[in-house]
Amino acid sequence: MPGTELFGAEERKEINDVLETGILFRYNHDAQRNNVWKAREFEAEVCKLVGAGFAHAVSSGSTAAQCAMVAAGIGAGDEVIVPPFTYVATIEAALMIGALPVFAEIDETLCLSAEGIRKAITPKTKGVCLVHMCGQMADMEAIMAVIQEHNLVLVEDAGQALGARYHGTATGLWGKTGAYSFDFFKIATAGEGGVMVTNDEPAYQLADSYADHGHDHVGSNRGMEQHPIIGFNYRISELHAAVGVAQTRRVPLIIEKNNQHKTALMNRLSEVPGVAFARIPDPDGDSATFLNLLLPDTETAKRVVDEFNAAGIGGFNYWFTNMYHFINQWDHIKEMRTAGKLPIEILGAPQDYANLDLPQSQDVVGRLISFGIRCTWTPEEVEALAGKIGEAVRKALSVEA
């Protein structure tokens, strides 16, 4: 968890700025706040980091993804193509705005493939919510060709890929809107928080109002603001934004260190028979938050996981059995178990979620084991981890032999 590894004086200073004013609300109270506007500063830092024209900070990565979809014009009854491998919030966000998720295949980039998207398109498809998984990026050149050919709206959930780039353009800025997560487990954290980004000013204005009950934020009297649209409360607090300010400034250093450690691990482990790696479309743009191993098949990967556990090796995820990141465990989605009826239950799902045929996704995620990269590792720790991983893989393969 790179962001949380580096808490220090910078974060405390930003938080204390807010505490000294006593204004935890991100809007208004101009006289009392002594020109301390941490949400605004947070948004400016994100724009600076990724090169976005506009950014809007909200309460979580989940709400950022929802705001991004709404601001891109996706709503009730719209089919939106999504991956089966993502944090489930991506799917929840689509459902909550009334959209109809259509699951498509991923490839060894760990993201939706251009061919997977193409095969999932129907006459009702409005857009694609592309998720950049495990710190990497999708094959954007191929995907953009499909998006443009079919005149689709592209929304990017880059919750796990803040700071990643494809040929110089940041993840989150290829489509109409994008979203980043700043929760406790991300490359940079606000404790809880998220940011919607765009280069489209009308989309930004929609998100700005949508995330605060439809307020237009014009003038200094909140009680007299206009409400151009209906919205809800997805506001971030000044305290969370203050942490986000300091953490966002750390991201370039974190990415530099992550890449050093990931490169060293990949160099060592490339010598181990049976070990391959997820495909990185632009290695120079990797945020390197995860080392993504691909084993020969699912059964081998399961044996490797057993060897890791037996050796006391931690810090990894076997996503194939993870409850929140892969569709195999999403029984609540498959069975549409809801607290209150959603539009999809009236309009009808575009697929039988309990009986999807996604063999490529099953194969890729079944073979995938991801280690979180720590930016504070020493070279000795990196070397030791590579040795332990290699030994466990060799043991698992010897069992097969």
State the residue for tokens 């990967």: 301
pTM attached to this predicted model: 0.96
Question: How far is residue 115's CA from residue 396's CA, in Å, rounded to a whole number?
Answer: 33
| Arithmetic mean of pLDDT over the chain | 96
pLDDT at 2: 72
Give the whole-angstrom CA distance, residue 381 versus residue 230: 52
Q: What pLDDT, in 10s, does the model give residues 124-148?
A: 999 999 999 999 999 999 999 999 9
For the segment 297-332, what is each residue's pLDDT rounded down to a tens digit? 999 999 999 999 999 999 999 999 999 999 999 999
Q: Is the pLDDT of residue 359 over 90?
A: yes
| Percent of residues, the chain, with pLDDT higher than 70 | 99
Q: How distant is the alpha carbon of residue 125 from its chain centre?
A: 22
Q: Kindly state the DSSP code that residue 237 receives in the 8-state scheme.
A: P
Does 61 score more than 50 pLDDT? yes
Q: Which run of H or of E encompasses 15?
A: helix 9-21
**Domains of the chain and any CATH numbers:** 2-250 (3.40.640.10), 251-322+361-400 (3.90.1150.10)
Query: What does the pLDDT read at residue 401?
Result: 43
Mean pLDDT of 348-352: 98
Chain segment 2-38, per-residue pLDDT in tens: 778 999 999 999 999 999 999 999 999 999 999 999 9
All residues at 6 or more sequence positions from 31 whose CB lies less than 8 Å from its CB, including other chains: none
Contact indicator for 136, 109 with CB cutoff of 8 Å: yes
Q: What is the pLDDT of residue 128?
A: 98
pLDDT digits (tens, 9 = 90+) for 264-301: 999 999 999 999 999 999 999 999 999 999 999 999 99
Per-residue model confidence (pLDDT) at position 399: 61
Instruction: Measure CA 39 to chain center.
Output: 20
Residues 200-219, mean pLDDT to the nearest whole number: 97
Share of the chain above pLDDT 90, in %: 97
The per-residue pLDDT for range 150-170, each reduced to its tens digit, is: 999 999 999 999 999 999 999
